[in-house]
């Protein structure tokens, strides 16, 4: 089905582009302003009408064909972008070059005028046509409400025991604990078995011991209806009113002085703030909420609550569940087709495993003649769109997608289809490409729309974190298997993306192309107009046809960091892509041509994977460049008057400079003071740096960290690598100074004085061979620190005293030898995550956690001995919060290709390659989470809250849709 909402988002984008044309005051032909004004007003009306229709409001609805309007909108966008391209070309060409044929097929003003007139006429014809024909409003999808299936025996469930035991402890009344209401939230994306787990708790012996019990569904989102249903379930006749206050009063009076257990299933909006007053808190009662939305779970369980995060099944249980559904008992020993492809697509989601297993059972698994073919289908989900078994899963996926709160957010989510399903996507890479594509239009109400929309997707549990840093920032993410399959097919159907995976590229007017490890050879079928493509992402070898950048013109996003056959020769052609906003290059590139200055609209330049060591100064002078990544220095003697004039004119927009080298030559240190908008800086200071250069660097850093009261809350961060360079120059840095994040690597014998003077420093990472007692003692004075990471071979002996680090949330210590500090009771009172990463750690190493009253997790190196694991499981079970014990596999440092060498932070860098929750008597189950590419400019590396791995388990029933 065509998606009017997606079209509405596209039209919004198109209207803003028309406004930008008007603001530039182009005078292309007589009547241009009139055509522009007509298109702007009509498109705004059509967008509003589409939104009304999607809301089910009849009114004066414009019943236009979505397909026709999409085609028309694409042609308008092409026309606008051609105008902008030609204007950009004319602005930067000297008069004599304008007479020369550049090889690009540029349109004359008369041709543009004819196109605009034709577009206007076609839009008028479409509006007239809708008056003659009436198209019925598309039906709104209504998902089936969650239901309590009473027909599944616990023995038929897979993977239920660990989460059930965990939640039964929360359900039970424990002697010595306050007798008060506890709200337990079960949260996770659709299909993990939240409802089934809640049902097992509801029907358990503990669950049946409460005085009053009720089970209601909150899928409708109406608080008054929810309260009425609760009263009915409790056999209390509800009053004849829909007033929430009166209903809450009646329910509270009924439950007063009673011990009750209530399950609210599938809560999809924050109804809790409206109804929470209906539940008395003075008795040991329990409310269990299931939801797919993280913010809803946090709202419900914010006071005396507990949040259980569902996770997918591991390989063993995934195979077990699939075969339970697909394979008859008499064929259990039969060697069936290889399950790897199917299990990969199902991605440990019980709903997918159950429905696909039942579907394969209909195909006579494992002996059916086409079972092997089905297993190897590239687009498995598309096999049987009308099959009743798969339709159950289809409805859940549709609802997950359609429930996204805005059309623009849906476009952002569909963009995940540009990346392979097993490829963790860097969050910052994704957000910058959204902005370059124009999916999100700036407003005065939000300064970072990309970050806001990314958080919304995380909150909806429609994407999941893969790699999370110590400061809880998501670094890489992905969407789950079958959902990725769904959005890929939807994107292809809507002509949102085009894939090449060994077949042919189509349709002709594709807007976004993703090449995945398949070369398009010269003799391959290429039924596509490359000149109108807006985004190109390449994984693997692209081939000469696709790397002929003379054929492109309107590209905004060019992501070639994973392209293996990109060469220096291609860059001059790339520099003619005048509308480019995002450019990322791969490891074969060694030099950047001066023609890069032609990319006047470029905002992000990512050179981390390249072997570029010298950065042309023309890059710094690009008027819109914001983010610059790599490891480079400037050419010798190139800080000229023109560059100085540009920087002093306050036109430089660079916010991220990560990063540059300091040696004996002139470089970025001389220029930093002029980059007034800098917010993130990474610096490598080499042993060849002279004292004069260190003095210049010290002055540049001093100006960068200067505490400007008008910008006191900006996200300023500094990462400084002192590779064989003396850190003495840091002693000259003085207060007042401000940073939110600081990372220092070097031979740190003492803590530089400016660190303790930094106002409201929140994140700090220190790496040295040995961290001294004096340095560690100085750290305890940082009262505003929230995230602290220490990396060393060993720590000198120190005691962290009572009331030290009062705001610290996460402490991560990475050591070669187990020399952990002693921590007095009362220190670190708000600590939530304790990460002790040392393979030689033996037992508790003198660390007592009973004083950490808010502790949620303890992370250990997976290589510690078994007795150490047993000891930590024991002490966490004795802790009132019962924090989880996580095992983290140490990784080989992430290689980021900078000059052919690893740019990772030291040899003790870590990555979430494998994370497991360890419980008493339980074997560690390993997963195959891939090591993502790290962003070397991050203040905190790949160790972090492993929120994906730290959250219970998923369960599924035999033949039941888990919700």
> Helical H runs in 309-406?
315-326, 340-346, 350-362, 371-375, 388-402
User: What are the Cα distances from residue 601, in Å, to 50, 479, 552, 581, 626?
Assistant: 32, 31, 16, 6, 10
Query: How far is Cα 76 from Cα 78, in angstroms, rounded to an integer?
Result: 5
**What's the mean pLDDT in 337-356?**
87
User: What are the Cα distances from residue 753, in Å, to 135, 398, 729, 790, 796?
Assistant: 72, 56, 11, 18, 20
Whether 844 has a pLDDT exceeding 80, the answer reads yes
Collapsing DSSP to helix, strand or coil, 561 comes out as strand
The CATH code that applies to domain 497-519+528-629 is: 3.80.10.10
Query: How far is Cα 535 from Cα 778, in angstroms, rounded to an integer?
Result: 50
Query: How far is Cα 579 from Cα 85, in angstroms, rounded to an integer?
Result: 6
pLDDT band at 279 (very low <50, low <70, confident <90, very high): very high
Q: What confidence score (pLDDT) does residue 287 get? A: 95
Query: How far is Cα 960 from Cα 411, in angstroms, rounded to an integer?
Result: 32
Q: 169-173, 214-218, 518-522, 781-785: which has the minimum mean pLDDT?
A: 518-522
Most confident of the following: 9-23, 174-188, 483-497, 804-818: 804-818
Handedness of CA 613, 616, 620, 624 (dihedral sign): negative
Query: How far is Cα 370 from Cα 366, in angstroms, rounded to an integer?
Result: 10
The partner residues of 158 in beta bridges, in order of sequence, read: 956
**What's the mean pLDDT in 127-153?**
51
Please state the length of the chain.
963
Looking up tokens 């249903």 gives 229
pTM, two decimals, is 0.86
Q: What confidence score (pLDDT) does residue 962 get? A: 35
Q: Count other Cβ atoms within 10 Å, centred on residue 696.
A: 20
827 — phi, psi (to 5°)?
-80, 155
pLDDT band at 122 (very low <50, low <70, confident <90, very high): confident
Most confident of the following: 134-148, 262-276, 516-530, 949-963: 262-276
Question: In 3D, which of 406, 414, 381, 409 has the Cα closest to residue 396?
Answer: 381
**What's the mean pLDDT in 660-685?**
88
pLDDT band at 927 (very low <50, low <70, confident <90, very high): very low
With a CB cutoff of 8 Å and minimum separation 6, the contacts of 139 are none
CB 467 within 8 A of CB 944: yes
Q: What confidence score (pLDDT) does residue 130 get? A: 60
Whether 126 has a pLDDT exceeding 80, the answer reads no
Whether 838 has a pLDDT exceeding 90, the answer reads yes
Mean residue pLDDT across the chain: 80
887 — phi, psi (to 5°)?
-110, 125
> Helical H runs in 172-312?
194-202, 223-233, 244-255, 272-275, 294-300
- The two three-digit tokens of residue 170, written as one number: 């929360």
Residue 422: HSE in the Cβ half-sphere, 13 Å Cα cutoff:
10
Q: What is the pLDDT of residues 726-738, one digit of tens each?
A: 888 999 999 899 9
The phi-psi region of residue 746 (left if phi > 0; otherwise alpha if psi is between -120 and 50; otherwise beta) is left
**What's the mean pLDDT in 851-868?**
92
CB 747 within 8 A of CB 769: yes
Residue 458: HSE in the Cβ half-sphere, 13 Å Cα cutoff:
19
pLDDT band at 650 (very low <50, low <70, confident <90, very high): confident
Q: Which of the 8 DSSP states describes residue 827?
A: B
Q: What confidence score (pLDDT) does residue 244 get? A: 92
Whether 427 has a pLDDT exceeding 50, the answer reads yes
Whether 93 has a pLDDT exceeding 90, the answer reads no
CA 223 to chain centre: 31
Helix axes 481-493, 407-414, angle to 10 degrees: 110
Higher pLDDT, 651 or 129: 651
Q: 34-43, 149-158, 413-422, 789-798: which has the minimum mean pLDDT?
A: 149-158
* Topology adopted by domain 394-494: Arc Repressor Mutant, subunit A (1.10.10)
Q: Which of the 8 DSSP states describes residue 55?
A: T
pLDDT band at 118 (very low <50, low <70, confident <90, very high): confident
Q: What confidence score (pLDDT) does residue 147 get? A: 39
Q: Which of the 8 DSSP states describes residue 463?
A: S
Q: What is the pLDDT of residues 469-481, one digit of tens each?
A: 767 788 999 998 8
Q: What percent of the chain has pLDDT above 90?
A: 40
Q: What confidence score (pLDDT) does residue 649 get? A: 78
221 — phi, psi (to 5°)?
75, 15
**What's the mean pLDDT in 353-374?**
82
**What's the mean pLDDT in 490-500?**
84
CB 591 within 8 A of CB 569: no
Whether 325 has a pLDDT exceeding 90, the answer reads no
191 — phi, psi (to 5°)?
90, 5
Helix axes 66-92, 4-24, angle to 10 degrees: 30
Q: What is the pLDDT of residues 11-26, one digit of tens each?
A: 677 767 666 665 665 5
Question: In 3D, which of 794, 817, 950 has the Cα closest to residue 876?
Answer: 950
> Helical H runs in 522-620?
571-574, 617-620
pLDDT band at 684 (very low <50, low <70, confident <90, very high): very high
* Topology adopted by domain 160-309: Rossmann fold (3.40.50)
Q: 314-323, 362-371, 411-420: which has the minimum mean pLDDT?
A: 362-371
Q: What confidence score (pLDDT) does residue 708 get? A: 76
Q: What confidence score (pLDDT) does residue 176 get? A: 66
Residue 616: HSE in the Cβ half-sphere, 13 Å Cα cutoff:
14
pLDDT band at 304 (very low <50, low <70, confident <90, very high): confident
Q: Which of the 8 DSSP states describes residue 552?
A: -
Q: What confidence score (pLDDT) does residue 899 get? A: 34
**What's the mean pLDDT in 424-439?**
93
Q: Which of the 8 DSSP states describes residue 942?
A: S
Whether 942 has a pLDDT exceeding 80, the answer reads no
Looking up tokens 């061979």 gives 769
**What's the mean pLDDT in 538-546?**
89
Whether 750 has a pLDDT exceeding 50, the answer reads yes
Whether 99 has a pLDDT exceeding 50, the answer reads no
Q: What is the pLDDT of residues 206-262, one digit of tens each?
A: 999 999 999 999 988 899 999 999 999 999 888 888 899 999 999 999 999 999 999
Sequential DSSP letters for 617-643: HHHHT-TT--EEEEEEBPPTT---HHH
Whether 492 has a pLDDT exceeding 90, the answer reads no
Q: What confidence score (pLDDT) does residue 788 get? A: 95
**What's the mean pLDDT in 353-368?**
85
Most confident of the following: 169-173, 556-560, 705-709, 823-827: 556-560
Collapsing DSSP to helix, strand or coil, 486 comes out as helix
Q: 100-114, 190-204, 684-698, 708-722: which has the minimum mean pLDDT?
A: 100-114
Instruction: Show the 3-state SS of 392-442.
Output: HHHHHHHHHHHCCCCHHHHHHHHHHHHCCCCCCEEHHHHHHHHHHHCCCCC
Q: What confidence score (pLDDT) does residue 389 get? A: 78
> Helical H runs in 596-730?
617-620, 641-648, 669-672, 691-705
């Amino acid at each position: 089905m065509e998606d009017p909402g997606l079209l509405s988002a596209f039209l919004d984008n198109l209207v803003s582009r028309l406004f930008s044309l008007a603001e530039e005051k182009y005078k292309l032909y007589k009547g241009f302003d009139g055509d522009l004004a007509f298109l702007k007003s009509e498109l705004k009306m059509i967008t509003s009408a589409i939104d009304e229709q999607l809301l089910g409001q009849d009114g004066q609805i414009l019943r236009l064909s979505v397909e026709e309007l999409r085609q028309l909108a694409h042609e308008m966008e092409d026309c606008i972008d051609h105008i902008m391209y030609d204007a950009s070309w004319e602005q930067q060409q000297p008069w004599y070059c304008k007479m020369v044929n550049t090889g690009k097929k540029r349109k004359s003003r008369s041709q543009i005028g004819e196109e605009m007139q034709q577009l206007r006429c076609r839009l008028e014809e479409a509006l007239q046509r809708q008056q003659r024909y009436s198209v019925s409003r598309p039906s709104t999808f209504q998902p089936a409400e969650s239901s309590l299936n009473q027909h599944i025996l616990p023995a038929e469930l897979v993977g239920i025991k660990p989460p059930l035991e965990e939640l039964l402890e929360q359900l039970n009344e424990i002697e010595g604990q306050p007798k008060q209401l506890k709200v337990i939230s079960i949260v996770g994306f659709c299909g993990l078995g939240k409802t089934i787990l809640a049902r097992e708790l509801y029907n358990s012996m503990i669950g049946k011991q409460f005085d009053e019990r009720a089970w209601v569904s909150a899928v409708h989102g109406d608080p008054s209806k929810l309260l009425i249903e609760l009263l009915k379930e409790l056999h209390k006749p509800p009053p004849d009113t829909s007033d929430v206050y009166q209903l809450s009063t009646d329910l509270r009076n009924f439950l007063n002085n009673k011990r009750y257990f209530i399950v609210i299933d599938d809560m999809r909006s924050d109804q809790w703030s409206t109804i929470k007053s209906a539940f008395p808190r003075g008795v040991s009662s329990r409310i269990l909420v299931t939801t797919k939305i993280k913010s809803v779970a946090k709202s419900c369980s914010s006071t005396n609550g507990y949040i259980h995060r569902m996770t997918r099944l591991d390989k063993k249980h995934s195979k077990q569940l699939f075969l339970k559904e697909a394979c008859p008992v008499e064929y259990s020993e039969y060697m069936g087709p290889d399950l790897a492809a199917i299990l990969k697509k199902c991605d440990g989601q019980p709903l997918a495993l159950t429905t696909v297993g039942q579907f394969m059972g209909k195909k006579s698994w494992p002996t059916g003649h086409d079972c092997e073919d089905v297993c190897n289908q590239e687009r498995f989900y598309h096999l049987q769109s009308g099959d009743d078994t798969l339709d159950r899963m289809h409805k859940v996926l549709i609802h997950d997608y359609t429930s996204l709160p805005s059309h623009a957010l849906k476009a952002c989510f569909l963009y995940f289809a540009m990346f392979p399903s097993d490829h963790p996507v860097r969050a910052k890479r994704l957000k910058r490409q959204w902005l370059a594509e124009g999916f999100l239009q700036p407003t005065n109400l939000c300064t970072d729309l990309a970050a806001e929309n990314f958080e919304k997707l995380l909150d909806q549990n429609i994407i999941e974190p893969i790699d999370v840093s110590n400061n809880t920032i998501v670094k890489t993410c992905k969407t789950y298997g079958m959902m990725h399959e769904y959005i890929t097919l939807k994107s292809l159907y809507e002509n949102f993306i085009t894939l090449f995976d060994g077949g042919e590229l189509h349709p002709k007017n594709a807007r976004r192309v993703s090449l995945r490890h398949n070369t398009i050879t010269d003799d391959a079928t290429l039924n596509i107009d490359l000149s109108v493509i807006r985004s190109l992402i390449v994984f693997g070898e692209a081939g000469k046809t696709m790397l002929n950048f003379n054929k492109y013109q309107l590209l905004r996003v060019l992501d070639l960091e994973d392209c293996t056959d990109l060469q220096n020769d291609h860059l001059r052609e790339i520099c003619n892509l005048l509308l480019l906003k995002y450019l990322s290059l791969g490891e074969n590139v060694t030099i950047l041509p001066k023609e890069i200055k032609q990319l006047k609209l470029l905002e992000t330049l990512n050179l981390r994977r390249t072997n570029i060591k010298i950065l042309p100064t023309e890059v710094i002078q690009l008027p819109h460049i914001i983010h610059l990544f790599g490891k480079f220095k400037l050419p010798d003697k190139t800080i000229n008057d023109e560059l100085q004039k540009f920087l002093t004119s306050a036109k430089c927009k660079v916010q991220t400079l990560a990063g540059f080298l300091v040696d004996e030559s002139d470089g970025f240190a001389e220029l930093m003071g002029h980059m007034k908008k800098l917010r993130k800086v990474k610096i490598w200071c080499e042993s060849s740096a002279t004292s004069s250069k260190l003095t210049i660097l010290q002055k540049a850093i001093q100006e960068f960290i200067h505490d400007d009261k008008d910008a006191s809350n900006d996200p300023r961060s500094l990462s400084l690598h002192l590779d064989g360079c003396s850190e003495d120059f840091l002693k000259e840095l003085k207060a007042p100074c401000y940073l939110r994040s600081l990372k220092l690597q070097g031979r740190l014998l003492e803590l530089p004085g400016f660190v303790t003077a930094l106002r409201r420093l929140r994140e700090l990472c220190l790496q040295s061979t040995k961290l001294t007692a004096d340095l560690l003692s100085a750290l305890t004075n940082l009262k505003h620190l929230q995230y602290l990471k220490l990396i060393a071979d060993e720590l000198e002996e120190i005691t962290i005293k009572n009331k030290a680090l009062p705001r610290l949330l996460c402490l991560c210590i990475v050591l070669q030898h187990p020399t952990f500090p002693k921590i007095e009771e009362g220190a670190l009172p708000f600590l939530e995550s304790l990460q002790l990463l040392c393979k030689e750690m033996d037992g508790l190493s003198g660390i007592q956690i009973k004083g950490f009253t808010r502790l949620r997790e303890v992370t250990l190196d997976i290589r510690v001995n078994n007795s150490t694991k047993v000891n930590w499981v024991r002490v966490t079970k004795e802790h009132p919060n019962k924090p989880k014990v996580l095992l983290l596999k140490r990784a080989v440092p992430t290689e980021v290709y900078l000059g052919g060498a690893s740019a990772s932070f030291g040899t003790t860098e870590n990555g979430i390659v494998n994370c497991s929750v360890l419980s008493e008597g339980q074997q560690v189950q390993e997963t195959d989470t891939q090591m993502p590419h790290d962003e070397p400019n991050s203040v905190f590396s790949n160790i972090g809250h492993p929120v994906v791995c730290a959250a219970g388990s998923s369960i599924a029933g035999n033949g039941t849709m888990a919700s």
